[in-house]
Amino acid sequence: WKFEGPSDSFKALIDMAAVHSSCRLCIYLATAAHEKEEQSNPGFQKRPCKCEQMGETIYHLFVRERGRFEMKSVLL
């Protein structure tokens, strides 16, 4: 794969300009491990992604900065 370069699907997962090439694979593998852990834990499956409060809808999102692995919880 080093001679052909990364596939288009891999480029879509990671912003190539923001992450050094030695870090991209680690972030991808860590994300896959994190998703697998979430799927095996029933507590993650039941958390709501939005709720209504005083006539307004509040969305609960998990976001990650470019080049970082850690997800942060954001309420919109």
pLDDT tens sequence across 12-60: 666 555 666 667 777 788 788 888 887 888 776 666 678 888 889 988 8
Q: How many CA atoms lie within 13 A of 67 on its CB side?
A: 7
| Domain chopping of the chain, boundaries | 8-75
User: Of 13, 73, 75, whose CA–CA distance to 44 is shortest?
Assistant: 73
Burial class (CB in 10 A: 0-12, 13-18, 19+), 28: middle
Give the pLDDT confidence score for residue 21 in this predicted structure: 65
